[in-house]
């Protein structure tokens, strides 16, 4: 299988995150990339390539003012780095629009919805690299060159909305791929990260031509808390083109299988021309923040079930934070997708 890499990923590395009132090492760390790449190389059968930076593919999904903010804030962090500061954290989250705010400092909370998403000198470049990799994968799948292509990137993307970052995510890589494929036919986005793909849902919420389906830990008790509930079904022309399948904490394969079948059935009934599969290994039983109970082998079953749809697919790496389980989970999943 062809793998498109975000070679700029390490330019973004958050120095820490808030957990239970303390600052701990950030779960979303550069070592995740090497853990997956190393496992794919050891397994064999994967070819790797980089993608050229592409700003147009980002503009097709995100608000121009948000893109300009991220670029400016990264540049400002670069300058501040000379003064010893190396990361910008949002502090104030305005309740509603704040049209008089000016400058990266004042806008930090306006273009962000949580405290997991700091701006570092290399954030813009790293996020752009991920979006560009997803776009390149979509091009290959759209052209029919490949049946399925895997995007190995971090930071992840599925929490990023049209004009806000959050949940370790800046540009929505899966949405970039889906947007490109939607020019050629209907697209289904299937999100199996353990967290609800709120950004992807938000970006396509009023569209009838892009179905968004997410299976995740119940947001009543798991990040992102504010969306991912079963009664969110789309709006306007997009009514009926969004589906959420929340699962209780501790869900094991016996509980996951019917939810996955339900999600796959919705995808099949939509009759899409293409699939974008947002894959998170954070539903693994060893994940430090997921709370579900899926063993490594189950990711092979998950991949084979997705393959059963028979759709050309872009597979985008989202979360997964146990470095010991991440590579093996990705290998199992991708082998499952390729199985015949
Ligand atoms: N300190 C993705 O998996 N909350 N994002 C962490 C533990 C943020 C997850 C709580 C979770 C964001 C792409
Ligand atoms: Zn996640």
- Ligand 1 pocket mutation, candidates 24, 116, 217, criterion most atoms within 8 A of CB: 116
Q: What mean pLDDT comes out for the span 98-121?
A: 88
For ligand 1, atom 8, the nearest C-alpha belongs to 167
Q: What mean pLDDT comes out for the span 231-252?
A: 98
Name the residue with higher pLDDT: 91 or 292: 292
196 part of the active site: no
Ligand nearest to the CA of 195: 2
Provide the strand spans (E) within the chain.
2-5, 17-19, 22-24, 47-50, 148-152, 187-191, 210-217, 242-247, 274-279, 313-317
- Ligand 1 pocket mutation, candidates 18, 290, 319, 325, criterion most atoms within 8 A of CB: 319
Ligand 1 atom showing the smallest separation from residue 167 Cα: 12
- Ligand 1 pocket mutation, candidates 18, 191, 223, criterion most atoms within 8 A of CB: 223
Model pLDDT, residue 340: 65
Ligand 1 atom showing the smallest separation from residue 321 Cα: 3
Q: Which residues contact 117 (CB under 8 A, 6 or more apart)?
A: 90, 165, 166, 167, 168, 169, 170
Count of beta carbons in the 10 Å neighbourhood of residue 94: 11
Model pLDDT, residue 85: 65
Ligand nearest to the CA of 224: 1
Q: Are 169 and 155 in contact (CB under 8 A)?
A: yes
Q: What mean pLDDT comes out for the span 210-228?
A: 98
Q: In angstroms, what is the span from residue 310 Cα to ligand 1's centroid?
A: 31
- If you ran DSSP here, which 8-state letter would residue 9 be given? G
Q: Write out residues with Cβ below 6 Å of ligand 1.
A: 17, 19, 116, 156, 158-159, 167-169, 193, 195, 223, 280, 282, 289, 318-319
Model pLDDT, residue 78: 87
Give me the catalytic one of 27, 159, 196, 216. Answer: 159
Q: What mean pLDDT comes out for the span 178-187?
A: 98
Ligand 1 atom showing the smallest separation from residue 155 Cα: 13
155 Rama sector, left if φ>0, alpha if ψ -120 to 50, beta otherwise: beta
Q: What is the pLDDT of residues 308-320, one digit of tens each?
A: 999 999 999 999 9
Ligand 1 atom showing the smallest separation from residue 194 Cα: 3
Q: Are 242 and 282 in contact (CB under 8 A)?
A: no
Q: Which segment of 90-94, 113-117, 198-202 scores lowest on mean pLDDT?
A: 90-94
Could you give the count of Cα atoms lying within 13 Å of 232 in the half-sphere of its Cβ? Answer: 23
For ligand 1, atom 3, the nearest C-alpha belongs to 319
Q: What is the pLDDT of residues 52-68, one digit of tens each?
A: 999 999 999 999 999 99
Upstream peptide bond of 105 is cis (omega within 30 degrees of 0): no
Q: Which residues contact 338 (CB under 8 A, 6 or more apart)?
A: 1, 45, 148, 303, 307
Is the pLDDT score of 86 beyond 80?
Answer: no
Model pLDDT, residue 84: 63
pTM of the model: 0.97
Upstream peptide bond of 140 is cis (omega within 30 degrees of 0): no
Model pLDDT, residue 79: 86
For ligand 1, atom 12, the nearest C-alpha belongs to 167
Ligand 1 atom showing the smallest separation from residue 318 Cα: 13
Q: In angstroms, what is the span from residue 318 Cα to ligand 2's centroid?
A: 7
Q: What mean pLDDT comes out for the span 144-162?
A: 97
Average pLDDT over all residues of the chain:
96
Q: What is the pLDDT of residues 8-34, one digit of tens each?
A: 999 999 999 998 889 999 999 999 999
Q: What mean pLDDT comes out for the span 32-57?
A: 98
Q: Which residues contact 204 (CB under 8 A, 6 or more apart)?
A: 175, 178, 189, 210, 212, 238, 241, 242
């Amino acid at each position: 299988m062809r793998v498109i890499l975000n070679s700029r990923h390490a330019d973004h590395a958050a120095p820490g995150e808030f957990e239970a009132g303390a600052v701990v090492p950030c779960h979303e760390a550069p070592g995740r990339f090497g853990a997956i790449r190393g496992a794919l190389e050891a397994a064999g059968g994967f070819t790797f390539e980089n993608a050229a930076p592409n700003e147009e593919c980002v503009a097709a999904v995100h608000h121009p003012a948000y893109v300009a903010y991220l670029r400016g804030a990264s540049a400002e962090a670069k300058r501040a780095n000379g003064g010893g500061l190396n990361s910008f954290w949002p502090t104030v989250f305005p309740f509603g629009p704040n049209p008089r705010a000016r400058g990266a400092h004042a806008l930090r909370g306006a273009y962000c919805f949580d405290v997991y998403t700091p701006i570092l000198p290399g954030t813009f470049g790293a996020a752009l690299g991920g979006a560009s990799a997803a776009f390149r994968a979509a091009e290959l799948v759209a052209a029919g060159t490949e049946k399925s292509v895997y995007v190995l990137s971090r930071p992840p993307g599925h929490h990023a909305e049209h004009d806000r970052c959050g949940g370790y995510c800046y540009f929505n890589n899966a949405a970039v791929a889906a947007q490109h494929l939607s020019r050629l036919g209907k697209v289904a986005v299937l999100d199996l990260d353990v967290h609800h793909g709120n950004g992807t849902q938000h970006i396509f919420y009023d569209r009838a031509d892009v179905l968004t389906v997410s299976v995740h830990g119940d947001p009543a008790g798991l990040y992102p808390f504010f969306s991912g509930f079963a009664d969110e079904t789309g709006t306007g022309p997009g009514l009926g083109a969004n589906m959420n399948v929340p699962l209780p904490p501790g869900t094991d394969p016996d509980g996951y299988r019917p939810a996955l079948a339900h999600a796959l059935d919705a995808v099949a009934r939509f009759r899409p021309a293409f699939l974008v599969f947002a894959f998170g290994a954070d539903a693994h039983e060893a994940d430090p923040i997921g709370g579900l109970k899926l063993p490594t082998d189950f990711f092979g079953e998950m991949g084979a079930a997705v393959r059963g749809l028979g759709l050309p697919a872009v597979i985008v790496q989202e979360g997964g934070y146990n470095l010991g389980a991440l590579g093996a989970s990705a290998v199992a999943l991708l082998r499952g997708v390729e199985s015949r």
